[in-house]
């Protein structure tokens, strides 16, 4: 699959998986996730949401997820063995199946330390299983198991839009996001769309927050034609 299916032209519904990571249900981040979700649903997407805080997701990749682990715990070796033996932890297996089912993955989170919150990083650690999504029978990048699927980051920031960009105080946001875009998503095969960002919602007045939520809805209406990021690596 090289492009997102146009929902209107397909009898089989395209699917989207939203993985959301904000500890406060009344946060702006949560509101923007709901706006994205309703936009995708309006276009005919079958949308599944994984709310990591609501689910009490454990972000720690350690031997507790691998009851038959060797004495010397080497995480990726154990992931491959468990993937091959059909012995992944049930919550990991379920989220992995949801990943494979989704034409579009949306990672929804507030920017924390120029990166993603630990609970979401830990979801990647545990669910991007070596031997299932890359490595083993799969390669990396276009040879990885999620090649042909698309992914997009849906973010809020503390800093205003003026504070990001070339020559600005916090620098270029895409530079900070490279480790996610390339090191996590592209690495396992995704084609990565330009991120969708609300800058500094806490500093906006009520009208501008409303407009920002509406803009998120509009951005997701255009998701099928959203630009892909390109990377200078040969991948
Ligand atoms: C550990 C940590 C590290 C951080 N690192 C960074 C960093 O590196 N760079 C950076 O820029 N920022 C950083 N931040 C700040 C963080 O990114 C922002 O606080 C966050 O992204 C703001 O989004 P929010 O959803 O949490 O906003 P909220 O504070 O939840 O919401 C903003 C306002 O919108 C209101 N609101 C909620 N829902 C609606 C709705 N439906 N309609 C209208 N208004 C609504 C809320 O009531 C609130 O008044 C960091 C924060 C933490 C905790």
Ligand 1 geometric centre to CA of 20 (Å): 14
d(CA 222, CA 33): 16
Quick check: 233 pLDDT over 70? no
On whether the CB atoms of residues 30 and 20 are closer than 8 A, the answer is: yes
Ligand 1, atom 43, residue with closest C-alpha: 209
On whether the CB atoms of residues 158 and 200 are closer than 8 A, the answer is: yes
Q: Model-level pTM?
A: 0.96
What percent of the chain has pLDDT above 90?
A: 92
Ligand 1 geometric centre to CA of 18 (Å): 19
Closest ligand 1 atom number to CA of residue 34: 41
Tokens of 233: 């690596």
**What mean pLDDT do residues 77-99 have?**
97
Write down the residue that tokens 């691998």 correspond to: 66
Answer yes or no: is the C-beta of 202 below 6 A from any ligand 1 atom: yes
- Three-state DSSP class for 50? strand
Answer yes or no: is the C-beta of 171 below 6 A from any ligand 1 atom: no
Answer yes or no: is the C-beta of 159 below 6 A from any ligand 1 atom: yes
- Three-state DSSP class for 151? strand
Quick one: pLDDT band at residue 12, thresholds 50, 70, 90?
Answer: confident
- Greater confidence (109 vs 11) lies with 109
- So where are the chain's domains? 7-225
Show contacts of 3-11: CB within 8 Å, 24+ apart. Answer: 3/224, 4/103, 4/104, 4/150, 4/223, 4/224, 5/103, 5/224, 6/224, 7/43, 7/44, 7/45, 7/224, 8/43, 8/44, 10/44
pLDDT at 5: 62
d(CA 123, CA 111): 16
pLDDT at 85: 96
pLDDT at 1: 45
Closest ligand 1 atom number to CA of residue 27: 30
pLDDT at 133: 97
On whether the CB atoms of residues 221 and 41 are closer than 8 A, the answer is: no
Torsion of Cα atoms, 28 then 30 then 36 then 42, to 10°: -120
Ligand 1 geometric centre to CA of 110 (Å): 6
Q: How far is CA 52 from its chain centroid?
A: 12
Quick one: pLDDT band at residue 4, thresholds 50, 70, 90?
Answer: low
Mean pLDDT of the chain: 95
Ligand 1, atom 16, residue with closest C-alpha: 158
Ligand 1, atom 37, residue with closest C-alpha: 28
> What kind of architecture, by CATH, is found in domain 7-225?
3-Layer(aba) Sandwich (3.40)
- Greater confidence (234 vs 161) lies with 161
Q: What are the beta bridge partners of residue 12?
A: none
Ligand 1, atom 31, residue with closest C-alpha: 28
Ligand 1, atom 23, residue with closest C-alpha: 156
Quick check: 115 pLDDT over 80? yes
């Amino acid at each position: 699959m090289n492009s997102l299916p146009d929902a209107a032209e397909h009898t089989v519904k395209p699917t989207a998986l939203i993985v959301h990571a904000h500890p406060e249900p009344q946060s702006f981040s949560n509101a923007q996730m709901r706006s994205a979700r309703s936009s995708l649903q309006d276009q005919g997407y079958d949308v599944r949401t994984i709310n990591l805080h609501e689910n009490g997701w454990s972000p720690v990749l350690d031997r507790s997820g691998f009851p038959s682990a060797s004495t010397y715990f080497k995480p990726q070796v154990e992931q491959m063995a468990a993937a091959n033996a059909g012995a992944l932890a049930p919550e990991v297996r379920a989220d992995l199946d949801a990943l494979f089912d989704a034409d579009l993955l949306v990672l929804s989170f507030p920017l924390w330390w120029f990166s993603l919150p630990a609970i979401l990083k830990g979801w990647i650690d545990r669910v991007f299983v070596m031997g299932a999504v890359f490595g083993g029978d799969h390669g990396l990048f276009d040879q990885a198991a999620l090649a042909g699927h698309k992914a997009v980051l849906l973010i809020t920031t503390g800093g205003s839009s003026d504070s990001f960009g070339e020559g600005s105080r916090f620098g270029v946001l895409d530079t900070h996001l490279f480790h996610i875009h390339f090191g996590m998503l592209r690495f396992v095969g995704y084609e990565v769309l330009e991120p969708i960002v609300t800058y500094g919602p806490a500093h906006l007045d009520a009208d501008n927050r409303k407009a920002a939520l509406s803009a998120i809805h509009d951005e997701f209406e255009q998701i099928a034609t959203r630009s892909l990021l390109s990377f200078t690596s040969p991948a």
